[in-house]
Amino acid sequence: MSEMDCETCPSTSPLQVVIPETKEISLTLTQKAKNMLIDVMGDDSDSALLVDVLSGGCSGYKYDLQIIESVDGDEHFELFVDDIHVYVPKTASSLLDGVEIDYEEKLMGGGFKLNNPNASKSCGCGESFR
């Protein structure tokens, strides 16, 4: 077995890391979303909603909503939206600024829906955007 000669491997361009723009953020909650979050969180004043985006989905990004206890404040924006404690990672702030969080009842159950003015395109399932 012979060793490969590195000069025969095609060269690739260097990997470019894009650091997302960090900006102050505003979010809104519909009354249905607020009611559902209050039901889910209960009277636990330590609970908060984490609103984030992840790489993936059929359009490039997908939403990630979690009920959490606390996060590192240096890495996240901390908001109070209609008395709901919300955290948004600073790295996701430019993608989530101006988002409206809604809750929809569906035939097979309900779910949160994000209306995002920053999305240039979203997929049919409504969980992924670009």
Q: Which tens digit of pLDDT belongs to each residue from 92-119?
A: 998 899 999 999 988 778 899 989 887 7
Q: Global pTM?
A: 0.73
Average pLDDT over residues 83-87: 91
Instruction: For domain 25-129, give the CATH superfamily.
Output: HesB-like domain (2.60.300.12)
3-state secondary structure of 61: strand
Q: Return the pLDDT at 13.
A: 63
Compute the chain's Rg from CA coordinates. Answer: 19
3-state secondary structure of 15: coil
- Model confidence at 130, in pLDDT bands (50, 70, 90)? very low
Q: Return the domain boundaries, the chain.
A: 25-129
DSSP 126: S
**What residues have CB less than 8 Å from 55, skipping those under 6 apart?**
61
